[in-house]
Every structure is written in C-alpha cells, then in structure tokens.
Structure 1
Amino acid sequence: MSLTLDEARARAGVLSSVSYSLDLDVTGLETFRSLTRVRFRSAAAETFLELKGALTVSLLVNGAAVEAAYDGGRLPLTGLSTEAVNEVEVIATLPYTTDGDGMHTFTDPADGSRYVSAYLGMDNAAKVFACFDQNDLKATFAVSVSADPADTVLANGAVVSHDAGRWVFATTPPIPPALLVVAAGPWHSVRWTAELDSGTSLDFGWHARRSLAAELDRDAAELRRTSEACFAHYADLIDEPFPFDSYDQVFVPGLNWGAQEMPGCVTYRDELLPRGAITDTQRAIRAVIIAHEMSHMWFGDSMTMTWWEDTWLQESFADYMGYRVAEAGAGFSDLRVEVEIGSKPWGYRSDARRSTHPVAPLATDVPDVDTAATIFDGISYAKGGACLVQLAFWLGDEEFMAGVNRHLTRFRFANATLADFVESLEASSTKDVRGWVDAWLRRPGFDTVAVRREGDVPVLERDGSRPHAFTVAAYDSALRLVGRRRVELGAEPLSLPEFAGLTVVPNAGGETFAALRFDPASWETLSGGLSRIEDPLVRAVLWSSTALQVRSRDLSADDFLDLVETHLPAETRADIIEGVLSEARSVVIPQRVPASYAAGAVARVAAAAAAGLATSGEDEQRALAWAATLAATSADAGLLRDWLDTDRIAAGVPLLPTTRWEAVVRLASLGEADARLIAAERDRDGTVEGDLGALRALAARPSTVAKDAAWSAMLAPGVDNRRFGALASGMWVAEQAHLLRPYVAAYLAEAPALATRGQAFAIEVGRAFPRIALDAGQLDALRAALAGDVPTILRRSWEDHFDDRE
C-alpha cells in the first residue's frame, strides 16, 4: 500500500522529535538482520511504522514485548505515551533484492566479489528498516553495520570505529529516512582530506567495485579536481556551510537512478565509470551529475520538500545548479549546449503529453507515493531547470541567489514548500515574483515564440501566457552573426527594426523554455545553412526546435532525416552529434516512421554516421560519437566484423567496449552473429557489461526462436532490472516490426502483472515498451489495455507512449 498524502499529514501532525538507532547485519547470504530503535514524541496513542516484506518481526513498545500485527507493509503501534518519549524496537529479517529497490545484492562476474548496498529513496526505506517513511518526519540516524571483515562499509556519517567487520558511524543531522545509505563490499577507494576556506577540513572519498579499480585510478585526478572545484564554487554561491561531516562518492552496481543524493555519501550507477576510454561528452555529463548531486546536500538533504508535489524544489534546482556549477566551477565549457540538445527535448516531450503537470503541482494532485513516482520526469527535471534559468535571467542573478540563500538559511535541516520559496524570493526582489511563479510553475504546457515579418522587419509574437526574457541573434543571408539583443516578450508583439532584412533566432542563448516558429524565409535560410552557424549553442537550439517540430508534425520525419544527412556530418561538436542521432534513433524512427519504411530510415542514419566518421579526420571525439551510431545502424556486416577483429574503428581510434557491444548486437539483428559468436564475445569481455551485452545480442536475432527465448527470460521469476532491461533493449529492433507483432500483444497482456513487483521494476517495465513503429491496430490494443486495470506507474508510461505515437 502506497502512503497517502492524508496519512502523511495526519502522522506528521502527531509525531515529533524522531531519532533512530539502526543496527544492520549484512553477513547473511539470503537475508539480512535489521534492528531499529526509534524514539519519538506522539500526541496520539496510535500510529504506524512502515516495514516492507519482512520474513520475521519482533516488536517492543516502551520496553514491553508486543505481538506484532504486521501485514507485510505496515506495523501498527498502539498504547503509546502522549506525555513521555516513546521508544519502539523492531527486529526484522528481510530479503535482499536484485532490482535496485531496498538492500540490493550483487556478485561481480569479473572476480566473484559480493556487494551489498541499501538503495532507498521514495518508498524504499521500509525495505531495510522500520520507519516513518515520509520527508517531513526528518530524524537523526545512528547507524552500525556488521559486514564481511574483508569489506569496507560506507554510510551517511563519518566512521567512528570499525573492527572485525563491525562499523559504527557518526550520528547524522536530521534527514528523511529515504536518504539513508549503506554500501558494503571490497571497494577500491581513493581518499583525501581537503582544507576548506573556512579554515576547517573535510574528508573526501571516491569508491568503486574492485574490478573497476583501473578505471577509478584512471579518472581519480579528474574526479578529485571536479569534486573540489564544485565544492569551492558552492561555497562561493551558498551562504550555508556544508551540512554534513564527510563527503564520499561511490560508483555502485545495479542502481536504478543515474545517481542518488544521499547525505554525505552520494551513490552513482557505475556505468558512469566506463571501461576503456571515456569521451569528452561522458566526462562533461558526469561532471554535471557530480555538481547536481552535490547541490542536493543543500537543495533536498538539508532543506527538504514537505510532500512530493514539491519534487521540483530539489530536482529542478539540482538540474539548474548541476550545469551552472560544472561549467563555472569545474571548468567544463559550453554546457548550455548539452542542456539544449540533451535535456530540454526531454522536457518538451513530457510537457506535450496528456500526463503533463505544472512544475509545481498542488499537493492534492499528488495523493500518494505511487503517484509521486510518476513526476520524477522531464518536467520536474528538465523543464523545471529551464524555468530556473529563465527566473535567474529575468530577476538578475544577484537577486535570484539572494532569495535562494535566504531560503536555504530559513529551512536548514527543515522542510519547505513552494509558498516558502516564494516568500524568500519576494524578500530579495521588487519584481512580481508571485505572478511569475503562477505563470511558470503553476501552469502546464509551454508557449511558442513566433517570428513573422512586417515588410523586412522581423516581429516576435508570443502564443501563450508567460513573460519571456531571452537573447535574439540576427544573421545575414550567409548566416554570419550581425547582432544580438536581450528582449522581454509579453502579450504585445515586439518589432525588431534594427534587424530589418536579417534572419533572427529567438532564444539564441537558451534562456527560456518555448517552442520556436519561424517565418518561411527565415526557416529556408536556417535549414539550408544550419551547419554554417558558428555558435554551437544556436545550432543546438535549432536542432532542438526541429525535433519539437517533428513531434508536433509540423516537420516530417523525412525532412528531419534530410537535415541529419545534409548538415550533421559537418557538425564539430560531439555532444550535438550524439544528441541529434539519439533523437533520430530513439524518437523519430519508432514514433514517426511507419514500420515498412523503418529499414530505409535506419539506413539514412547509418549513411549520415558513415559520412560523419569519414570526415572526422584526427578528431577522435567526433569519430567516437559517429562510431557509436554507425555500429548500431550499419548493414555492412564486413565493416562491423573488421572493427571487432582489429578492436579499432580507424587508425589510432579504439573501439570502446560499449561500441563493440553495439556492433555485436547489430550483427546479431542482421542475422550475422550466432549464439557461439555472442558467447565468445561475452567470455572475452568477462564483466557484467558483457553479460548484459550478450543478452541484448541474443534477443536481437531475427528469429522466432530467439524472440521466444528472450521473452521467456523477461518473464522469469525474480529477473533483475538490468537483465530485464537488456533483454527488452535487444528484443525491439525497428526493422523487425513484422516478426515482433506477437510480442507486442504479449507485452500488453503481461506487463501489468510484472509492474506489481515494485516502483523501480514498474518503471523498467514501462521502459520496455516496444521500441518499434505501431500500426493502427496495435495502438487500438494499447488504448484497450489502458481501459483496464493498469498499475499507476505503468499507466503513466503507457499513456506517454500512446501520446508520443498518436
């Protein structure tokens, strides 16, 4: 049962002064022991703890043994004192998980090492310990862990002592139960102590699986430099001191999120520490994620939302600060390009669906935690981050940061709402902050900024209701930059006489969140010379605009692919190359190209990739970007085999392990790689990535036997998230739509039951939606399925897929 808003409000209204003492024993192979002592004051004689999936439970309430009326999800507490502090002790035996929700266990195939980590977050803390699992019942945590004596254990607090596998950690400041972390295993670690400007010092650490020791050592200097630079920049921006006593960062196996902001000990999915070489785009995105998670130490961990309607209050801020601090603090340049090409399209897609919601919805719009799980989406992250870019640009950075700092100081180790944030901003600005918030954060959807002509004079018009501040760039007929101007656009059209006769690009600096619509002459100039525009940010804005036009059907898939073939091979930025090709492969082809034309569309992407690779010259980053797509789309089996044989894509350019597996999977989908070749590649690799790559390749083979085997493996009891996702990724091949017809029907029939395993697995089931073009009959079948009983999280995913294809 998912905790409801009403239940959370009622419980928060009677409980206070909560603290936990938690003792975990993770030495068992099948189950672990969880001992929780929770102290609290209560104004009511009854309440309840959450505890999910416990195999055994014993309960003491204020020293007296009580028969636990446990229902598998909740533990009722009765006879509580309303005068004195209550102490409840719960001893439970709980199962490990393999789906990234709860106490996750993983055995590394590379060396047999075992790792046990508590991956919590929304609705998962109760899978590890008995707790009041809601954000506004923050508490201190005193944590002890018994683990294999050969293991290192990491947690939120600094280590107080450890001996013979017994680890004791410092008591944390008040944090939500969902932000507890424990990570045990034979970690390879890089540790150091940094002197802070305040005259104090702080212990830092980076950790990874033992089999990734070489990769961690490869990147250790950069990871340390990035961490320290981001930390120093936050110290300049934020008045409040760092809230915790140490700062560990660990690459963990099996994490469902890209990273999680656990106080004092951030976890990252270990795909962010890739084998082989790491590309510049990967380095930049990883730096953004590091800065994003670090921002959460203040935005989310110290100042925490009260209920889930304010997910944006931490995630949008972290999205905004991640890019800002990685660029200004850690020195990764032009990250606004990545925002436009990689982040904002996600926001636009999310905001164009029926499931759109305000960046800051009302609390009553999020009635329970399962509903809350559906708003960790492109609106709470990408759109919300873009809104904050607009807010800072509109207010001015000094006033914006003054309001932010006021807010963080007011709510240090406390909970806050949108109303609280508005009060903080209003105290630092003379502008109509409340009106801006109502227009931008309380209303779904996005505006369109249109360019029309009055004679030779460009005129900007707004189709929508929000105030916009942004930069306009003006170009001559050869697309040379002639001028730039900051403008504010409201309900009245804005004439730009100084740019008469020129082509103008609104939002050239990416400052606002809006669709663009050009007059015919401007679009002809821009689409004809896109690759000649010097500013990569403007190119990214225009590529993002074309993707949005494909979604709205104002631009055909053919026309989009024409732009890809004509202009993308000349692109100099690897991040733009990767972003556009990802849009083509994962969005345009499955959603806008009929199945009978899919092979031709894939071939066009492959042709663009081949042309781009041929012109890359000595630019290794461009070559690596092009090769990743060519490996996944080429029909030239000889080329792909040559890459596998030489382990090179060109002289001096290595075949990255991820690209190598793309080539193997592609060969398998073409019928050019049998089970023996795939097994040999898996054995050659010898890692979990190799195991997953082999599953993808086996599932990609163009035969009913292969598809049956993959589908059966996806339905196997207890299949873990990574294996399920790999099988689904291999299963759905755009050119195999006819072969896959029975499996589309099977997916629609079986997915609702699969999605009942838990939030994380439900999300994975939604991601496994057929990544192929659906015909009218299949869309009707999806519509009929949605009329039935579909779990909340899966329903949101299916409705999104339906809207994307309608």
Structure 2
Amino acid sequence: MSSLTQAEARARARVLTVDTYLVELDLTRGVERFGSRTTVRFRCAEPGAGTFAEIAAEPTAAVLNGAPLPTAVTGNRLRLPALAADNELVVTADLPYSNSGEGMHLLVDPSDGETYLCATSALDSASRTFACFDQPDLKARITLRVTAPAYWTVLANAEGRRVDDGTADVAVWEFDECGPMSTYLFTVCAGPYHSVFREHAGRRLGWHCRASLAEHLDRQADELFELTGQCLDWYERTFGMRYPFGDKYDQVFVPEFLHGAMENIGCVTFRDELLYRSAVTDAERELRAMIIAHEMAHMWFGDLVTLRWWDDLWLNESFAEYLGFRVASEATRFRHAWASFGVTRKLVGYEKDQGPSTHPVAPADVPDVAHGALNVDAISYPKGASALRQLATLLGDDTFWAGLRRYFQRFAYANADLSDLIGTMAEVSGRDLRDWSARWLRTTGVDLLTPDVTVADGAYTGFAVRQDAPQRRPHRIRIGCYDAEGGRRTADVDLDADRIVAGSSTSSTGVPELVGTPAAELVVLNDEDLTFARTRFAPGDTDRLGRLLPRLADPVTRTVVWTNLWDMVRSGDAPPESFVDLAAAVLPAEDVPAVQSTVLRLCQRVADAYVASPADTLARLADLGGRLLAAGDPAHRLVGARLVASSAATDAQVARLHGWLRGAGVPEGVAMDADLRWSVLFRLVTVGAAGADEIAAELAADRTASGEVAATKARAALPDAAAKRVAWERLMTDRSLSNRHLEALGHGFWRPEHAALTGEYVPRFFTELPATAAFRSPAMLMLTARDAYPVSAVTERTVELAAALLADDDLHPVLRRYVTDQDHEVRVALAVRRRPAGGAA
C-alpha cells in the first residue's frame, strides 16, 4: 500500500468535500475474502480536476458519475479523472481478510470452530474494507449495510437492526447514518458474539465477546458496566455536554486485536485478553479500567474534534492517556491510578525520550501516514499526558476544563490542530501559551533535576534545584522532604529554566523557604509526579531507601523514587544488583499492585539483559516470590506465584513448579488456572525440564486461541536445535502467521539461557529480516523487528550487525525504526554491564 503524504492530503482536502458513504459488505463468502461495495458522494471545488481514492486491492468494477473507470490501482490508489462539481463514485471489490489486525481481521476460534471478524481502520487501513478518501480531515456521514450468516451478531458505529424476515440462512443488517466522521474511526464486528446489555442514563450500553468466552463476560459484566457508567458520568459532567454520538455505546472484546483498544465511534474494540479467563491482580483490573476511560475520552478527543493530520496525533493520544488515568483515579475505585501511570507508562516514556527515535510530542513534520504510525509510542502517550498534567497544574483545573469545553464547542464534528487548542486555552486563561507550547510540545529530551544542598548543624544552609535544561523547559514541581519516620514537608517551586549558570547548560533555582529547616533524610524532587523530568537524590539519600521507602505513605512518591532509581541503573549511576536488592527488601511491604508488579518486571529485565549471568538473579527473584506467597496477603499471592513461575532457576525451584503442574504443593489461595499453568510450563520448557510432550498435553487440555498462542511460544522456547530451526523458519518465512503467533514465536525463541543454542541466529536475524518486508504488512513488520529482535544477545557483535543493517538506505522505514530502538536497548545493556562493580543505588 502507498502511504499518503501530507502534501497529497492537503491538496485533496483543498478541492474535495465528502458528503456521504454507503458501505455494503457481504460476509458470507468464506474465510478468504469478503465482498465490498461503496457509494461515495462528494463535491469538487475545481471541476475538471483529478484525484484518487484508496482501495486495498484492484476492484472488480469502478464507476464515476455513471462512466466505468479503469480498475487498475497503483499501490492502493484508484485514479479519478475529470471530476464534476458533484460526484458519485461506486466501487465494487472482493477484498482479502487479514491476519495482522489491520483491516478486516478474521479468526476461527479453535474452541468451537466459529468465525469472528473485526474491521480496524486506523491509521490508514479503512481502504482494506471499503473504497474511501482515507485521511482524517475529509469527514463524511457513513451508512452501513451488511450481509452475514443469520445466526451472527453484527455491530458497528451506529445503531443497527436486521431487516430480513429471519427465515433464511443469511441475514441483512442496516445501520443508521453516523457522523460526520473520519474514515479511520470506522468499524464493523461480526460473528456469533455473546452480548450483555444495560441501560445507563438513557443510553444502551453493550459489552460483547466470543461465544467461547461468554462465562467470563457474564462473571465480569457488573464490574465492566459499573466502570463504563462511572467514566461516562465523569466526562459528561466535566465537559458539560452529553456523549455526542447517539444513545448506544458498544464495547467489544476482539480476538487477535492488534492494539490495546481502538476508539471507533460508538463501538470501541479491545483485545480480548482484557476479558480475563484466569485470575488477575488488581493492577490488571486497574489497567483495564484505565483503558475503558482512555477510549471513552477519545469520543471527544479524536472522534468529536479530530486532528487534521497525524502530526497532531497527540491531540488524540496524549489527552486520552492523561484522562484515562485521571478519570480512573477520580471516578472509579482505582484511586492509585496515578501511581500506576508513573511506574508503568511514564517510566517507558523516560526511556523512549532518551533513545535515538525520540520526537517531539507534537512534531512539526510528519511527511506521510507511515511516519505518523511510527509515532504511536511512549512520547505521544505518557510524555504528552505528562505535559498536559503540567499544563493543568499551571492553569488550574477550572481554567483547564473551561478551555476544553470551549474547544469542543468551537470544533465539534470538525478538525483542529495544535494552534487551535493552544489558542483556545490562551483565550480562556488570559495567558500567552505559545512559549510553553514550543518548549514542551516541539522539543525532545528529558530534563534532569538535581537537589543542590548544603547542610550545617542539621539544617539546610542552602537549597536549590539544578536543572539540566537544554530546551529551557519550565516546570512547576513539588519538593518533598521526608524525615526518618516518613513524615513530609513540602515546597512548591517554579523552576526558572532561563536562569542559566555561567559556563554551563544548566539552570539553578533557589528554594529559600527550605533554607534554615531541618535537613531531610530523603529529598524527593517532583514529589506527586507533576512534571516530566528525571530526578536525582541528595548525597546519602539512596543509602537510606531500604528503611525509608516502605514508610512513604503516598504511592505516587514511591513511584517517583522507583522510576528514578531505574533511570540511575540505565544511566550507569547505580549497579543493577542494587535495584534488585532494594526490591527484595521492600516489595513485600508494597500495597499498590501496579508498583509491586512493575518493579518485579524491571528486576526480570535486570536478569535478562543487565547482568552477564542471570541464574543467580533469577534464583533470588524466585525466592522473593516464595516470600510473597508465604506472607499471607491475598493480594501478594498471585504476584508471588507468577514470579516463581517466571524465575525458577535452582533444582529445588524447578521441582516446585513440577509439583504445581501435578497439583502438589500449590500454595493456598493460588488457582492453577490455564494462564498460570502455561507460565509454569514455559519456564520448565525454557530450562529443559519439560518438552514437546508436555506442551501437547497442556494444549489438549486448553484447546483455545490463548492456549494455541501459549503453545507456540513454548515450542519456540524448547532448548533443542530442531525446535529452534522450525521456530526460526516460521518467524522469517511463514505468511500465514497471525499477529499473536508472530509475537509468541519472538518471545519464545530468544531466551538468555539459550545463548549458545541461538548464537548462530543472531547474524541471520540481520541478514534475513529485510526480506520480510516483501510479504508482511507494516504491523507485522513491527512485530517481527520488535518481538523477534535478539535483545538477549548483549554483545558488541550484535551492535555491529545492527549498525551494518541500519547503513542500508533501502531498509523499510518500519524495520529501521524498530531495529534502531532495539539496538539502543542492547547498547544500554552493554553499558550497564561494563559499569564498575560496587556503589550504592
């Protein structure tokens, strides 16, 4: 497919006004292809001009204003010559189903043999389902008509109904007109979905899933509807307007969904792993609540007011990310959502913003859609959300919400850009925000804040904050000073980035209100996590963290400490072993599940990449898992069981996992459900304590889509040359792989324990990867380069091979981006390993 350029989009938007689409889909033609017929009515401001529409395959017929067109397409472009002032285009096509999650994805559920379909149109995949002008600023009203097997349910953006007499094997569904809307927000979901409905404030709410998952939806429905209603009430109250797209709101758990979720108008789609079939932690339930709030935020940010072009992706994602966590923390039972944001999403944002592929939150130049897709990352999401949190802190909530209400009123059902939002906020606040916008949204990099203190007789004689400020970015922060019992006093500070220290690139802001006060045991800059900045600690503070960290009452403060300790590890300012030491000392007392789970994942990253010999670190982590299991706290048990399952390294630990699979010695309160069993088996396979027979037996007991993916991952992890060879051939040549199985192969293939076995494949990865661009879509290329990258091969040779590949000017842009990012991670791991032993965290 050709990637639409910004110049082409602007030229087309200058001459076209798209009024309506009638999309007619025939989903009764088997599992290979479906029928698509599109009627588009549009106007042209320059009669006689030519343009093009997008369609993913050569149509069987195309008629413009009653005259047949040549059906040849270049890329995905159908040429439209000699337009009239008013035009009608009719395009008929047989289009292929997808296995990547782009366009009309099809899954045959192995549980029962039923077929499920879902059309995903973002960013430019709408043409994989119907002929269209596929750019966000050519909004139109869309009407949908679908022919499907009679026993299926069909869901879409607007309200739909069956219009046949119900006696045939095939049914016809007609949907109300929806819009004006952008093509990337179009969806249709079809199959024998199981549905649950509730009424809330005059709206019909629906949750839907595969029939084989019905029992799980029925069990979780109360929680899901409660969250939906709480979020909807919060948005309507805060924005001062009713949900803008009618009286129905569907949410669908979709198999093999490519993303976490997608904000299609009136029919939000989620990956169906979020409908839990096994026990989960409260951290996972909190994440789901945040995603529900995030996607609902898009009904205003993106769906009602839509970006003009993908350089303003942040207008969608930064706002949805910010509001997802804020609404979860204010409207639902998950009151610690901001702590989760800091230690999960924001931590990744810090890593991304220090890497080679960082970019501004609002980049000035996104030349085509493909480059826009590459910016769907931890800059557009958590860094952008952090910038918005800083803006709300600067303006105050009342002004911030008033500005957004005016923005919605002014640009409802239309398109907007950065200047529109900032201009509207400036009007309401009376502040000139252009400088703030330029420094926060148009620049890259993370500022580093460090306390500069002097102490005499137990009191501060000087207190300042030094800011490494290459972009001279302003910050409003809170400084927390903690005593030996965890008691806190605070100071609010506006950091003056224009106060540059002579002869350096740093600025220094004094904090006179702390001068003369007792010296703290621990100083936390950016306490309450109000800005986006790395911080460091005062001299000696890290030595006291094992004693102090459990005493800090605010979990957000604890996340600030953890994220900056992790940054110190990656920057070479602290040994990775000390991070694991601290985790082992304090995590049993941590009562916020997301903090506990995320810090443990970071410890596993230490074992996988930051130490040369992972066995000792893994064994320590498995021992910590055992302590969590023995602590008696129900919230810790599942975390502990998962940690033992992922880290067992000694003979005794491995034997314990064998017992669990047999039902022996399973800890009280831990259910050996399907997901935990697969985790245990994966570890046993990795260390050579189980094999192909055990995988086959487990799959026979769990013949589900999730079970098949788990089996694919486990087979790739077999420490056997023949198994690795089979997995490798599938990774590099198999065109039939779905997105989930491609991910699973990559995750299973490269294991630190298998370095000797997989060493020969490291150079092969770099020589064979480029050829996959000939047959894999952009999404599948991303999964190949990201999930199958040899990140566990932390050697200079891996870096050299990556450099040689990146020197190829013809390398596909998607592969270039993800190889660049993964190569950076290998380089960071190498630098961490070279750090001299010793030192305090």
State the TM-score, normalizing by the size of structure 2.
0.92
Per-residue Cα deviation, 1:345-401 (whole angstroms, up to 9, x for no partner): 110011001211111111xx2111111111000000011111111111111111111
Q: Secondary structure at the match of 2:100?
A: coil
* Structure 1 residues 436 and 750: CA distance shift in structure 2, 3 A: same
Looking at structure 2, the residues matched to 685 and 751 of structure 1 have their Cα atoms a distance apart, in angstroms, of 33
Q: Secondary structure at the match of 1:428?
A: helix
Corresponding position: 1:705 with 2:722: yes
Q: Determine if contact 2:786/2:822 at 8 Å carries over to the other structure.
A: no
Corresponding residue for residue 359 of structure 1:
361
Give 1:479 deviation, angstroms. 4.1
Looking at structure 1, the residues matched to 417 and 123 of structure 2 have their Cα atoms a distance apart, in angstroms, of 18
Q: Determine if contact 2:50/2:82 at 8 Å carries over to the other structure.
A: yes
Corresponding residue for residue 52 of structure 1:
56
Per-residue Cα deviation, 1:212-234 (whole angstroms, up to 9, x for no partner): 10110011011111111100010
Per-residue Cα deviation, 1:607-658 (whole angstroms, up to 9, x for no partner): 332333332x1x2221111221220111222111122122884112213432
Corresponding residue for residue 462 of structure 1:
467
Corresponding residue for residue 122 of structure 2:
121
Per-residue Cα deviation, 1:219-259 (whole angstroms, up to 9, x for no partner): 10111111111000101111232111220000000111000
Corresponding position: 1:92 with 2:93: yes
| 1:532 alignment partner, one of 545, 551, 559 | 551
Corresponding position: 1:408 with 2:408: yes
Corresponding residue for residue 151 of structure 1:
152
Q: Determine if contact 1:292/1:318 at 8 Å carries over to the other structure.
A: yes
Q: Secondary structure at the match of 1:738?
A: helix
Per-residue Cα deviation, 1:258-294 (whole angstroms, up to 9, x for no partner): 0000000000000000112332111111000000000
Q: Determine if contact 1:240/1:408 at 8 Å carries over to the other structure.
A: no
Corresponding residue for residue 615 of structure 2:
599
Per-residue Cα deviation, 1:638-681 (whole angstroms, up to 9, x for no partner): 11112212288411221343222111100001111111111110
Looking at structure 1, the residues matched to 709 and 72 of structure 2 have their Cα atoms a distance apart, in angstroms, of 42
Looking at structure 2, the residues matched to 566 and 434 of structure 1 have their Cα atoms a distance apart, in angstroms, of 47
Corresponding position: 1:630 with 2:644: yes
Corresponding residue for residue 326 of structure 1:
328
Corresponding position: 1:803 with 2:821: no
Q: Determine if contact 2:762/2:793 at 8 Å carries over to the other structure.
A: no
Looking at structure 2, the residues matched to 526 and 116 of structure 1 have their Cα atoms a distance apart, in angstroms, of 51
Per-residue Cα deviation, 1:581-623 (whole angstroms, up to 9, x for no partner): 122224x3444323xx1233333332332333332x1x22211
Corresponding position: 1:173 with 2:179: yes
Corresponding position: 1:722 with 2:740: yes
Q: Determine if contact 1:628/1:662 at 8 Å carries over to the other structure.
A: yes
Matched AA of 1:167: W
| 1:190 alignment partner, one of 193, 196, 205 | 196
Give 1:778 deviation, angstroms. 1.4
Per-residue Cα deviation, 1:488-526 (whole angstroms, up to 9, x for no partner): 222342222264311321112111111011122222223
How many residues align? The count is 790
Looking at structure 2, the residues matched to 773 and 560 of structure 1 have their Cα atoms a distance apart, in angstroms, of 22
Q: Determine if contact 1:15/1:41 at 8 Å carries over to the other structure.
A: yes
* Structure 1 residues 749 and 590: CA distance shift in structure 2, 3 A: farther
Give 1:527 deviation, angstroms. 5.1
Looking at structure 2, the residues matched to 285 and 100 of structure 1 have their Cα atoms a distance apart, in angstroms, of 22
Corresponding residue for residue 565 of structure 1:
584
Give 1:544 deviation, angstroms. 0.8
Q: Determine if contact 1:755/1:761 at 8 Å carries over to the other structure.
A: no
Corresponding residue for residue 288 of structure 2:
286
Q: Determine if contact 1:565/1:607 at 8 Å carries over to the other structure.
A: no
Give 1:79 deviation, angstroms. 2.1
* Structure 1 residues 682 and 499: CA distance shift in structure 2, 3 A: farther
* Structure 1 residues 644 and 444: CA distance shift in structure 2, 3 A: same
Matched AA of 2:38: T
* Structure 1 residues 647 and 219: CA distance shift in structure 2, 3 A: farther
| 2:663 alignment partner, one of 646, 661, 682 | 646
Looking at structure 1, the residues matched to 639 and 409 of structure 2 have their Cα atoms a distance apart, in angstroms, of 44
Corresponding residue for residue 76 of structure 1:
79
Corresponding residue for residue 835 of structure 2:
none
Q: Which of 621-630 and 749-758 deviates more?
A: 749-758
Corresponding residue for residue 392 of structure 1:
392
Per-residue Cα deviation, 1:388-446 (whole angstroms, up to 9, x for no partner): 11111111111111111111111111111000011110011133322211111111111
Looking at structure 2, the residues matched to 237 and 64 of structure 1 have their Cα atoms a distance apart, in angstroms, of 51
Looking at structure 2, the residues matched to 662 and 751 of structure 1 have their Cα atoms a distance apart, in angstroms, of 29
Corresponding position: 1:748 with 2:770: no
Corresponding position: 1:493 with 2:522: no
1:412-561 to 2 correspondences below 5 Å: 412-455=412-455, 456-457=459-460, 458-464=463-469, 465-476=472-483, 478-491=484-497, 492-495=508-511, 496-497=514-515, 499-502=517-520, 503-526=522-545, 529-561=548-580
Matched AA of 2:724: K
Looking at structure 2, the residues matched to 644 and 230 of structure 1 have their Cα atoms a distance apart, in angstroms, of 40
Q: Determine if contact 1:592/1:773 at 8 Å carries over to the other structure.
A: no
* Structure 1 residues 276 and 69: CA distance shift in structure 2, 3 A: closer
Looking at structure 1, the residues matched to 228 and 779 of structure 2 have their Cα atoms a distance apart, in angstroms, of 29
State the TM-score, normalizing by the size of structure 1.
0.96
Q: Secondary structure at the match of 1:427?
A: helix
Q: Which of 245-254 and 430-439 deviates more?
A: 430-439
Per-residue Cα deviation, 1:169-212 (whole angstroms, up to 9, x for no partner): 000011111110000011110112222xxxxx221100000011
| 1:660 alignment partner, one of 651, 669, 677 | 677
Looking at structure 2, the residues matched to 563 and 612 of structure 1 have their Cα atoms a distance apart, in angstroms, of 15
Corresponding position: 1:681 with 2:685: no
Corresponding residue for residue 272 of structure 1:
274
Looking at structure 2, the residues matched to 150 and 161 of structure 1 have their Cα atoms a distance apart, in angstroms, of 11
Identity %: 40
Give 1:484 deviation, angstroms. 2.5
Looking at structure 2, the residues matched to 93 and 12 of structure 1 have their Cα atoms a distance apart, in angstroms, of 28
Looking at structure 2, the residues matched to 746 and 348 of structure 1 have their Cα atoms a distance apart, in angstroms, of 32
Give 1:459 deviation, angstroms. 2.7
Corresponding residue for residue 237 of structure 1:
238
Give 1:718 deviation, angstroms. 2.2
Corresponding residue for residue 113 of structure 2:
112
Corresponding residue for residue 36 of structure 2:
34
Per-residue Cα deviation, 1:692-731 (whole angstroms, up to 9, x for no partner): 1111111111121121111122222221111111111111
Matched AA of 1:375: N
Looking at structure 2, the residues matched to 772 and 49 of structure 1 have their Cα atoms a distance apart, in angstroms, of 45
* Structure 1 residues 106 and 647: CA distance shift in structure 2, 3 A: farther
Q: Determine if contact 2:546/2:585 at 8 Å carries over to the other structure.
A: no
Moved over 6 A (4+): none
Corresponding position: 1:63 with 2:63: no
Per-residue Cα deviation, 1:427-480 (whole angstroms, up to 9, x for no partner): 11133322211111111111111112122424322221221112222211x242
Q: Determine if contact 1:509/1:537 at 8 Å carries over to the other structure.
A: yes
Q: Determine if contact 1:590/1:773 at 8 Å carries over to the other structure.
A: no
Q: Secondary structure at the match of 1:500?
A: coil
Gaps of 5+ in 2: 498-507, 828-841
Q: Secondary structure at the match of 1:762?
A: helix
Matched AA of 1:459: A
Matched AA of 2:77: R
Looking at structure 2, the residues matched to 678 and 649 of structure 1 have their Cα atoms a distance apart, in angstroms, of 20
Q: Determine if contact 1:20/1:36 at 8 Å carries over to the other structure.
A: yes
Matched AA of 1:665: F
Looking at structure 1, the residues matched to 573 and 186 of structure 2 have their Cα atoms a distance apart, in angstroms, of 47
